Chains A and B, each alone.
Chain A
Amino acid sequence: MRVEFILNGRKVAVDVEPSETLLNTLRFKLRVKSVKRGCERGECGSCTILLDGQPVTSCMLLTLQVEGREVTTVEGLEKDDLFKKLVDYFIEEGAIQCGFCTPGILLTAWAGLKQGRFKSVDDVREYVANLCRCTGYVKIINAIYKAATGVAGR
């Protein structure tokens, strides 16, 4: 079946199986490698994408469901100033260890920043529910809070 949607600002058309997840379409057919396969049941957030601006896990979506919609991955945000600032804070804080969860967390955080959701550190903890097994989250939370407020989390 043919599906058309907007990927990072460009229209794409792909042939997919009815049961195909957006995660597999993105990785295997469109070769978007920033979208990582972690648990395949919507728990870990490694495969997070933005669907019309909202963070969702692409393993829990059938590609058919995104017909006509807008899908954004970190590849589409490379030139975005807020995104660049966010990554700079991640690097400055040391919030990236193995890097597997990082693109998904950045997308979630970027969406939260855009929507002005982070008034406190607890807001960040509440909204960014992606899993990371390396960092213990401290530096991730601080980096996002810094990007939101310009000050360190503690």
Chain B
Amino acid sequence: MDAWDKALGRAMFTEDYYVDYLLANALFIKQVLSPMPHARIKKIDASRALSISGVHGVFTASSIPGENQVGYAIPDQPLIAEGKVRYAGELVALVAASDFDKAIRGAEEVVVDYEPLPALLDPLEAMERRDVLVHEERGSNIAFQTRVRKGNVEEGFSKAHVVVENEYRLHHQEHAYLETEAALAIPESEGRVTVIGALQYPHLGQKIVSRVLGVPMSKVKIVAPYIGGGFGGKDDEGPLTCAKAALVAYLTGRPAFILYSREDSIRVHPKREAAVIRYKSGVDAGGKLTAIEVTIIHDTGAYANRGPFILWRATMHASGPYEVPNAKVDGYAVYTNKVYQGSFRGFGNLSIQFAVERQMDLLAEKLGLDPVEFRLRNILREGSYTLTSQLLDHSVGVGEALKRVAEKADWWRKRREIEEFNKSSERFKRGIGVAVAWHGISTSRAVPDWSNAYVKVELDGSVTVYTGIVEMGQGSPTSSHVQIVSEILGVPVDKVKVVFATTEAPDSGATHASRGTGIGGLGVLVAAAKIRERLASLAGRVLGVDPGELEFKDGRVYSRRDPSKSISWRDLVREAYARGVEVSATGYYYLPKGRFDESTGQGFAYPAYSYIVLVTEVEVDTRTGLVRVLRVYPGLASGKIINPKQVEGQIEGAIAQAIGYTLMEYLYFDEYGRVLNANFTDYVIPTPKDIPEIEKPVYVEDKFRHGAFGAKGVGEMALIPGPASIANAVAHALGVNITSTPLTPWRLLEYIKRSPRG
């Protein structure tokens, strides 16, 4: 619906507001970042910066009028470093100047005197150290722990016919959204401030800005315009970006604009967590899993941020979508002096599913079973109990999805053919791999989650929807929400306008966790349904029919029994205004949750799970170590598919990010924990040439009773098992055990050297 605007560059992104309205008057902000991974700040001297004409101010922790605390899960994080810095890239001061160049010059002239402290870069070392602490006040470098205790693992392993044990290492991932972080803050009368910024949850931005400025939330208005990609990164950094701009605007009384350079963006904002996972699993002679024992260690970096939530999600997904009777899982989020971890599409689940799905292939191989067949023997179905002993009472389409994808890919025949091909091919080896994943819908455990929206019907029958859900390419507000209203009220889509991503709307929750359409759409659905009910009762009176037999379609309301009894939508709305029938409503939906015991990790984890299957074919050049993904077959069991084209777009985009993560993307840290490749020349993301054939997805519409029209969630799904499916295909091609990422050429060559055939 907004495609033309986007095509012509008319869709307003944050920097565009700066260009349009404020160029002459606004201050431009440049960040002074720490070059040190761990150091005390002895002194900050801004005098030289302030002497540059055009530099209006240098702001540090002591400038903050409210609370210098932005920790998401744990109060461990300042907006601007105070006392000490904990990673190279941490914000130390903000320089505001009349233009871009002066702000950059000003930032170069801020002199910070650091007293270096020993830096911890390895999470395994940091876990053990007591003499060096990233956060002294916390007494340990372990930021957070999780656990699951189910059944009896010793007994489970004693029944095992085959046991497989491995240590997996997964690396960081940079979001690399094409639009870097930006925010424009406009001071207003009575101490109010409006921020236009690139963030995924306006109401969270409102909360953080209010805390930093020390003003009530009602005085802070946040609007997210179009966002040039988020993938979780702007869920974490977006509110902080807004707070930085708001602080300068509030203190100077001038509009203030912050725009991260690409280098700053990569150095500053949180990344997908790097993980060390020790995984032991046992299976009986019948091919049923008997026990798993898992240790998950996340390199949390300098701040906990969402680490505890990421770790919980990893922990509760540690079995994969399989029945496991006995389990012991321990999770540790560990502080180090590196850029901190945060939300990234998949949220802790990608790394654990990698370990699970490598284990499943290795177990199948040891048992002499086909990987698909082995998975099917253990797959979750209706009536299964999950890792947290939650009964899955509905919406479990994963087994069928796996079967249908394997059939579509001609799995069994292709696997044999490839093995034949490899016998005669020396240099090029082919492989085909499968990986399955599950992903809990909504927040983990009993953490509250809700949907909320406001819908009003205008006098001319057009409809306006207000939601806090943002538009970052996924199209939930601009496409799915429009479709929902159109379907319920029977008005054409071009008559529905969604005002999205604003704190003027009720708090709709974040646009993350694949919840924009399925959960975000619920509030819209409830509000539209309330209005429909009122108007149906009115139309029933006007037409002299039972409201229950009324159809709302194509701009008309008519009786199903006698379609001649009919009124146009427009006339009905006019009647409503004339007769005093309210045609606006808020829609609120609170997701029912159950009990969860944190000491055993048992109980209610999620209201439902989305499931995905990927079958991937690869070709490996054993001379260069280059892996080419040839073809991917996706299959999705995520409830009702509301907009198939949009869903395909999400799957294809996620597969590209999985290929990037597995085969090319890697952050290089130097001995000071500094990111060495903070640019797009050296941090390489996929181009059109790296994209394989991606087949049309198989859909199993296992409807979810608490999602809009039965939808679960799609956005994150295909990225989660992507690396595992590629690694399984590469392992099949080479006959080696792949336990780490990335599979860049030099790493692959190391694997090939170790290979029995190599």
Report yes or no: B227 in contact with A137, Cβ–Cβ below 8 A: no
A137 touches B691 (CB 8 A): yes
Per the bound structure, the CA–CA distance linking A17 and B681 in Å amounts to 26
Determine how close the nearest CB of chain B comes to the CB of A136; give it in whole angstroms.
3
Of B2-10, B105-113, B483-491, B588-596, the one touching chain A = B2-10
A133→B688 contact, CB < 8 A: no
**Cβ-defined contact, B4 with A27, below 8 A:** no
Expressed in whole angstroms, the minimum distance between the Cβ of B666 and any Cβ of chain A is 16
The stretch of B310-318, B358-366, B644-652 in contact with A is B644-652
Tell me whether A134 and B473 are in contact (CB under 8 A): yes
Report the minimum CB–CB distance from A147 to chain B (whole Å): 13
Residues B178 and A140 in contact, CB atoms below 8 Å apart: no
Cα distance A75–B654 in the bound complex, in angstroms: 31
Specify which chain B residues have a CB less than 8 angstroms from the CB of A28 in the assembled complex: 19, 23
Q: Judge whether A91 is part of the interface by a CB distance below 8 angstroms.
A: yes
Instruction: Indicate if the CB atoms of A135 and B7 lie closer than 8 Å.
Output: no
Q: How far is the CB of A142 from chain B (nearest CB, A)?
A: 10
Contact (Cβ within 8 A) A100 B179: yes
Evaluate whether A39 and B13 lie within 8 angstroms (CB atoms) in the complex, with A91-B4, A137-B688, A139-B652 already known: no
Does A50 sit at the interface, judged by CB under 8 A?
no
Q: Which residue of B lies closest to A103 (CB)?
A: B9
Interchain CB contact (< 8 A) of B9 among A73, A132, A138: A73
Q: Is the CB of A87 within 8 A of B7?
A: yes
Nearest CB to that of B5 among chain A residues? Answer: A99
In the complex, whether B680 has a CB less than 8 A from a CB of chain A is: yes
B178 near A44 with CB under 8 A, answer: yes
Q: Could you jot down 22 A-B contacts, CB within 8 Å?
A: A17-B101, A32-B9, A34-B10, A35-B9, A38-B180, A43-B679, A75-B9, A87-B8, A91-B3, A91-B7, A98-B6, A98-B472, A99-B2, A99-B6, A103-B9, A129-B689, A133-B178, A133-B657, A135-B649, A135-B656, A136-B652, A138-B652
Task: For A128, list chain B residues within 8 Å (CB).
Answer: 688
Check A101 for interface membership: any CB of B closer than 8 A. yes
Beta-carbon contacts under 8 Å, A9-47 to B: 17, 24, 27-28, 31-41, 43-44, 46
Please, how many angstroms separate the alpha-carbon atoms of A74 and B4 in the complex? 11
- Interface residues of chain A, those whose CB is within 8 Å of chain B, are 17, 24, 27-28, 31-41, 43-44, 46, 73-75, 78, 87, 90-91, 93-94, 96-103, 106, 124-126, 128-129, 131-141, 154
Other than the given A33-B9, A78-B8, A137-B656, 16 more pairs (CB < 8 A) read A31-B19, A37-B180, A41-B679, A44-B178, A91-B4, A93-B645, A99-B473, A102-B6, A129-B687, A133-B177, A133-B178, A134-B653, A135-B649, A135-B652, A135-B653, A154-B693
Given contacts A43-B680, A74-B7, A97-B475, contact A33 B19 (CB under 8 A): yes
Taking the closest CB of chain A, its distance from the CB of B239, in whole angstroms, is 19
Rounded to whole angstroms, the CA-CA distance of A94 and B100 in the bound complex is 36
* Residue from A31, A36, A140 with most neighbouring chain B CB atoms (10 Å): A36
Nearest Cβ distance between residue B381 and chain A, in whole angstroms?
Answer: 31
Say whether A136 contacts B654, CB under 8 Å.
Answer: yes
B3-A131 in contact (CB<8A): no
Known: A24-B100, A87-B4, A98-B179. A40 touches B261 (CB 8 A): yes
